[in-house]
Structure 1
Amino acid sequence: MHPINPNMAATFPPPVMEARRWIAGRDFPPEKPLINLSQAAPVDPPPEALARAMAEALVTRPSAHLYGPVLGLPELREELAAQWSAFYGGTVRPGQVAITAGCNQAFCAAMATLAAPGDAVILPLPYYFNHKMWLDMSGIGTQVLPTGDDLLPDPVRAAALITERTRAIVLVTPNNPAGVEYPPETIRAFLELARARGIALIVDETYRDFLGQDGAPHDLFADPAWDDTLIHLYSFSKAYRLTGHRVGAIMASGARLAEVEKFLDTVAICPPQVGQIGALWGMRNLADWLAGERAEILARRDAVRAGFQRLPGWELLGCGAYFAYARHPFDAPSDVVARRLVDEAHILTLPGTMFGPLRSEGGDGQAEATLRIAFANADAAGLAEVCDRIAALGR
């Protein structure tokens, strides 16, 4: 066999694909069908009006079939800058915005400008597995920041982790996988820590459109010098159901985006044109529709919270955006419990072992004790059924 990059070989397989293999080729009875709670992505198509706007662009805009600007369509960058400035009460200029082929690419591009092999990045637990995978395959070390039962990262504990190798701290809020929303004062404290130590703060707000609170979740963009430290990531996939069209964004200094441009041009040349056209149309026309989507997700969140109150031994550690993160009561690690849920309850979830280090790797046991439940594609009745099936498992 030809050589394989050892960093790539040491990177764990994509967790969602691994979970799908658990159910591949299996039949589930119609009276108890599989409930798939493994992936945090909408499966419904975008609103018809949005789809028609994209279809019209395919037919009437010849430029939609060509390479576009590496950093994205100017109109979309301008719209993002204007809406972010208004929402966060700060100033974001179009030159501080780049469009990417999804938010995962936004993270990879930002990280490529920050860290080289041998450097390190702080990831709070539980972490988003694709972030860890990119660091691993890039030869960048992960400095794991443990969290308690509230799953909130502590800037004081983070400060103790920083070394001369540390290049950035990454926050995902609302958190994937836990659904926890980080308080504004916590996010601000991390900005001040990163600034004082001369490293970057990456804030991934992929699920910002489904916050439980109204208004801006932090005041970082109100800081006139925000771009000396902050790198902000966003995704259109969840807001407008554009997962397959791959549209994300980075907000950072113009100087950093000049470096990002090198990465994007090399990897994808430009973000997909039709997806960007759809994202722009959505931003300009779907505010009321998106508010309804948020209300529905919050209703599902409330249904999960109510359902877990009748599950003895289970503890809901986090619940928000698309996610619930629960401590299970079984005397077995979470990967074993997740497979039991498939076999006996016909529920597909992801184990905490996919979101943090095992005890054998220096972990504190959180990974083995927890499960992620992604409820974006189960309504309130479906979530009640989930809780009924879990209750039937016993202990």
Structure 2
Amino acid sequence: MSRPHPLNPALAATIPPPVMEARRWLDGVAFPEDRPLLNLSQAAPADPPPEGLRREIARLAVDVPEAHLYGPVLGLPALRERLAADWSAHYGGTARPAQVAITAGCNQAFAAAVSTLAARGDNVVVPTPYYFNHAMWLAMEGIEARLHETGQDLLPDPEAVAAAIDDRTRAILLVTPNNPGGVEYPAALVAAFRDLARACGIALILDETYRDFHAAEGAPHALLEDPDWDRTVIQLFSFSKSYRLTGHRVGAIVAAADRLREAEKWLDTVTICPAQLGQHAALWGMENLGDWLAGERREILARRRAMDAGFRDLAEWEVLGCGAYFAYVRHPFPERSDALCRRLVRDAGLLLLPGTMFGPLREAGGSGRAEATLRIAYANADLGGIEELFRRLRDVAPA
């Protein structure tokens, strides 16, 4: 008798990819022509890069032979230099090229950063609601995601986090602007967590994937003004949202140079190097698309205002957070959020993600917020699409 193939129990216990699970809810569902599917599930631009960038990618593919070859593990030197200069100018501090590594997307940046910090049996403090891929990676590695439930405003509490830190804690993770909550963490709060991490001798991992869509002008925090920032802070970034390069997978880590030398071992083993075409595209975007990116930010902020206005007319829904790409809302129905999201596909032609994908269920020690909340990735709809979203939500009846 043949025996089943062995399976890593940590991988087996990790949840399936949530976005792929949500897409399976579409199987067998027919959408009428007058009410096509409105997909607000995945936090990614729905359009390709602007035409100028697409033409540059085509030119690179034809005219730059090295764009098809292996490159440095830590990334294209010119891109590292440009990102370091941008970081220094934007944050009012100093980041050197040696403190920048380019990765195959921001998910890989997180995985590489954690690989330098924590081993099986260690823990990382993770506010909830959390970004599910962060929780999935920690689970696969046997690293505890020590969950901290944020307040009604979705902001984490440094005092409560301090009480959760023990001798196996290796980092505090913050995402701002937040995925899935949409909230932007005040600079003073970010600094308080830096101070806490420094006092405890652990790292502060700051995922700023959506930095370019922050509502406030200027730098969102002042961490780099500290000349010793890299002893504590690890920043993560993504070019995917800023320049619509999702399929090219280009992200970055900004951290101490000696930490990046350790991350290089992990990155070399996993991908050898980031994709060259994507790196060249990101560099061209930084050099040429400043005005275009400013226009993208204005458009996202306009959509945010439309979301705020729409929910003011839906009093039975409660907005917990709204910003960057997301609105995180409490729904008014008695059913659990994952059941509601399946019903919204059938009854309203809406694909949203339930709070059950972003935090623990009540049966696992959660407060019940996961069962009562939804994430709406409104950046994937234009203003007309947002109007249609609210028309459909108004028509949803209790189950």
Counterpart residue type for residue 294 of structure 1: R
Is 1:153–2:168 an aligned residue pair?
A: no
Pick the aligned partner of 1:3 from 2, 6, 9: 6
Distance 1:376 1:312 in 2: 22
1:98 match? 101
Question: Shift of residue 25 of structure 1?
Answer: 3.7
Counterpart residue type for residue 334 of structure 1: S
Question: Shift of residue 394 of structure 1?
Answer: 3.4
1:333 match? 336
Alignment of 1:231-270 (within 5 A): 231-270=234-273
Is 1:291–2:294 an aligned residue pair?
A: yes
1:217 match? 220
SS at match of 2:25: helix
2:181 match? 178
Alignment of 1:183-202 (within 5 A): 183-202=186-205
SS at match of 2:171: strand
Question: Shift of residue 26 of structure 1?
Answer: 2.4
2:20 match? 17
Is 1:387–2:351 an aligned residue pair?
A: no
Distance 2:292 2:23 in 1: 31
Contact 2:182 2:323 (8 Å CA) reproduced: yes
Question: Shift of residue 149 of structure 1?
Answer: 1.1
TM-score with structure 2 setting the length: 0.98
- Deviation string 1:22-72 (CA, Å, 9 cap, x unpaired) is 002422001111100000101211111111111111111111111000000
Distance 2:94 2:120 in 1: 34
Segment drifting more, 55-64 vs 205-214: 55-64
- Deviation string 1:101-141 (CA, Å, 9 cap, x unpaired) is 00000000000111000000000011000000000000001
Distance 2:391 2:343 in 1: 15
1:227 match? 230
Counterpart residue type for residue 231 of structure 1: I
Distance 2:89 2:58 in 1: 30
Distance 1:80 1:279 in 2: 10
SS at match of 2:101: strand
- Deviation string 1:150-171 (CA, Å, 9 cap, x unpaired) is 0000111100000111100000
Counterpart residue type for residue 205 of structure 1: E
Counterpart residue type for residue 242 of structure 1: L
Question: Shift of residue 191 of structure 1?
Answer: 0.2
Counterpart residue type for residue 357 of structure 1: P
1:70 match? 73
Question: Shift of residue 142 of structure 1?
Answer: 1.1
SS at match of 1:23: coil
SS at match of 2:219: coil
Question: Shift of residue 192 of structure 1?
Answer: 0.3
1:134 match? 137
Counterpart residue type for residue 271 of structure 2: A
Distance 1:249 1:181 in 2: 20
Distance 1:196 1:377 in 2: 40
1:124 match? 127
SS at match of 2:116: helix
Runs of 4+ in 1 over 6 A off after TM superposition: none
2:35 match? 32
- Deviation string 1:356-386 (CA, Å, 9 cap, x unpaired) is 0000000011101100000122111111111
SS at match of 2:386: helix
Contact 2:29 2:346 (8 Å CA) reproduced: no
2:60 match? 57
Counterpart residue type for residue 99 of structure 2: Q
Counterpart residue type for residue 332 of structure 2: P
1:344 match? 347
Gapped runs of 5+ residues in structure 1? none
User: Between the two proteins, what is the percent identity of the paired residues?
Assistant: 67
Distance 1:49 1:336 in 2: 43
- Deviation string 1:284-310 (CA, Å, 9 cap, x unpaired) is 110000000000001011111111111
1:84 match? 87
Question: Shift of residue 209 of structure 1?
Answer: 0.5
Question: Shift of residue 337 of structure 1?
Answer: 1.2
Question: Shift of residue 21 of structure 1?
Answer: 0.2
Contact 2:353 2:375 (8 Å CA) reproduced: yes
Distance 2:52 2:393 in 1: 39
Distance 1:161 1:89 in 2: 32
Pick the aligned partner of 2:168 from 159, 165, 168: 165
Pick the aligned partner of 1:367 from 358, 367, 370: 370
SS at match of 2:237: strand
TM-score with structure 1 setting the length: 0.99
Distance 1:274 1:382 in 2: 32
Number of positions where the alignment pairs a residue of Structure 1 with one of Structure 2: 395
Distance 1:309 1:106 in 2: 38
SS at match of 1:98: strand
Alignment of 1:275-314 (within 5 A): 275-314=278-317
Distance 1:336 1:7 in 2: 27
Counterpart residue type for residue 350 of structure 2: I
SS at match of 2:41: coil
Counterpart residue type for residue 262 of structure 1: K
